Amino acid sequence: MTSISLQRLCLFVFLFSTIFSNSQEFQGKAFYMSKTSVDMSNFGRPNMTEEQRKRMEDRLKTMFQKTFVLTFNRTESVYKLEEKLEAPGQRGGRFTAIMGGAVDGVKYKNVKDKALLNELELFGKLFLVKEDLPKLEWKITGETKQIGGYTCNKATAIKTWKDFDLTALRRQPAREENEENNETVEEEEQPKIEVTAWYTMQIPVNQGPGDYWGLPGLILEVNTDDTTILCSKIILNPEDKATIKRPTKGKVVSKEEYVEIATQKFQEMRENFRRGGQRGGRG
């Protein structure tokens, strides 16, 4: 082997090792603003004044506008609420007290193992919701747009699962009343929620916010019927790399088990507040 060939071989090995090393160490952070709209017509008392309804609506808007941080590498990611100081006077109120029992935790995704772990705190008790990573059948439309300097492609899918949300607080009492009256309780139909996602192949990782993944690039925006998740900032290969670890704390339950536990707890809280209000009114 000539000296020139040997030099070329050494250069090739060096370049291959550098590319592989960078690939293994690649990491990024994406910041997302999540906004969820809530149908206010089903909330509050029938005799609630417009001023009271407006205050509740403002609290709900604040409660459902959150900033999350997605820390990711090529196979794993951790999605969690960005820690912020609470503004003075932001807490308080019956509804805030009820919903304050649920605390957003860490959501871990592993696209290689198809694992999804969600660490959640409910009224002081820690749960680890464990399930297979849900898969969406994405259809790439060919449309493109710019998001923060990144060229994004559009994809759509139909989501057939629904996370625990405030509608559970309205459905449960109605179901219990029907059961007490021996009325037929119809099983709820499988939800079919249209999802629109925008992803960029400039960041070729199979990751995204929340439960979303499965596209050939980082998902920067997600839209459903009532929620918009939009990326506001991206940091690639930060100097201070974070450790992406599987959460291990909490009682291990399935999503179905957690939904049942959470629904029961919120129902108990609502009944306690209702009884307290009735006693206060009579006094």
Q: 91-107, pLDDT tens digit by residue?
A: 444 444 445 455 678 99
* Average pLDDT, rounded, for the chain: 77
What is the pLDDT confidence band of residue 82, given thresholds at 50, 70 and 90? confident
| Integer Cα distance of 114 and 175 in angstroms | 35
Strand duo 76-81 + 125-132: pairing: unpaired
Report pLDDT for 80: 93
| 59 vs 182: which has the higher pLDDT | 59
Q: What percent of the chain has pLDDT over 70?
A: 64
Task: Give the relative orientation of helices 167-180 and 255-282 as an angle to the nearest 10 degrees.
Answer: 80
Q: 210-232, pLDDT tens digit by residue?
A: 999 999 999 999 999 888 999 99
Q: Both tokens of residue 76?
A: 């794993």
Q: Both tokens of residue 170?
A: 């309205």
Contact call for residues 220 and 201 (beta carbons, < 8 A): no
Mean pLDDT (whole number) for 250-268: 88
Q: 170-207, pLDDT tens digit by residue?
A: 444 444 444 455 554 455 566 789 999 999 999 999 99
Report whether pLDDT(281) > 90: no
Report pLDDT for 10: 39
For the stretch 159-188, what's the b/e string if a residue is b when 16 or more beta carbons lie within 10 angstroms of its beta carbon?
Answer: beeeebebebbeeeeeeeeeeeeeeeeeee
Strands (DSSP E) contained in the chain are 28-36, 65-72, 76-81, 102-103, 107-110, 115-122, 125-132, 139-147, 150-159, 193-200, 218-223, 227-236, 251-253
Q: What percent of the chain has pLDDT over 90?
A: 43
Q: pTM (2 decimals)? A: 0.74
